[in-house]
Amino acid sequence: MKTVLIVDDENERHIEFKAWYSGLEGEVTADHVVSAQQAITKLDTTKYDLVMLDYNLGSLEYSGEDVSNYILTMPKDKAPSRVIVHSLCRDKAVQMVHDILNVGIWSNWYKFGTAKLRNMFKAILTSW
């Protein structure tokens, strides 16, 4: 069973992600959260194969960068295997990916709403 954490504050995006992994019941289990605090709580309790992370989480106080920074401090055996940043905020997304790669976790950035993001998401879920 592959485990996925989807971190985004926009309900429409959660609906779209659910559509992308529909049909993979029994193969994929996904947790959906809308805040950095919720994401960190989930990361504390579950080892994820994939984290889908947005930068802008609708809060002036916390962002996806806080989640990214938390991932950087996690022990290797508890950290997610892969992180895709799906933000429209290119500069922050690229920095987050760079930092995650530097600790040895596969990461990449794809702008939300692109076929590349959808295709990579599906490829990761069906390739393990």
pTM: 0.95
Q: 3-state class of 77 per DSSP?
A: coil
- Report residue 119 as tokens: 């295709």
- In single-letter form, the type of residue at position 56 comes to N
Q: What residues have CB less than 8 Å from 54, skipping those under 6 apart?
A: 7, 8, 9, 10, 13, 64, 85, 86, 87, 112
Output the pLDDT for position 128: 65
Q: 3-state class of 32 per DSSP?
A: strand
- Tens-digit pLDDT profile for residues 93-109: 999 999 999 999 999 99
- Tens-digit pLDDT profile for residues 14-47: 999 999 999 888 899 999 999 999 999 999 999 9
Using N-to-C axis directions, what is the helix angle for 115-127 and 11-21, rounded to 10°? 50
The CATH number assigned to the domain with range 2-127 reads 3.40.50.2300
- Tens-digit pLDDT profile for residues 60-102: 899 999 999 999 999 999 999 999 999 999 999 999 999 999 9
Domain segments of the chain as ranges: 2-127
